[in-house]
Amino acid sequence: MQDSITTKIKFLEEMGANRVPHSGRYLIDHLIGVHDILVDWKLPQYVCDAGLFHSIYGTMSFKHKTTNDRKGIKSIIGMRAEMLVYEFCLLNKPRLHYIGEIQDSQIKEDLVHINSANHQEQNIATKKEMTMDEAYGNLWNYNTGRRS
């Protein structure tokens, strides 16, 4: 029997998330990254699941709708997580402004976490590592009296 996260990732792959471009990678990579950040922050399972599916219905920035089957998503991640996914996908930008207008304090807190993990994951993913030449190529060489 597969564990819960494997089942959810397989579902996302069957929906095509492993073929949809997203920030120079594939959507599945981003979704898993957001999920993993939320897990690292030791947030409740329903928040982590919502992070794994957070843009499945499309967002203001990411227009691709992997699915619009809310009932099917509820059956995979549960009603509470799916509601967060749906709310996140409806948010206009700047998201934190609109999250701040939500009356329910728990939903507000959960969406702030998902939004923060989303931003953090995209910042991690877009930072390319410097090559050795980029890092050290322009240092002063005291032996030659010029830049390397």
Domain of 106, CATH number, reads 1.10.3210
What are the tokens at 138? Answer: 């322009």
Q: pLDDT band at residue 124, thresholds of 50, 70 and 90?
A: confident
Q: What is the pLDDT of residue 110?
A: 98
Range of the domain at 115: 4-147
pLDDT tens per residue, range 38-89:
999 999 999 999 999 999 998 887 777 888 899 999 999 999 999 999 999 9
Q: Identify the residue whose tokens are 């877009």.
A: 126
Q: What is the pLDDT of residue 139?
A: 60
Residue type at position 88: F
Number of domains in the chain: 1
- Cα–Cα distance, 35 to 45 (Å, whole number): 10
What are the tokens at 10? Answer: 């397989």
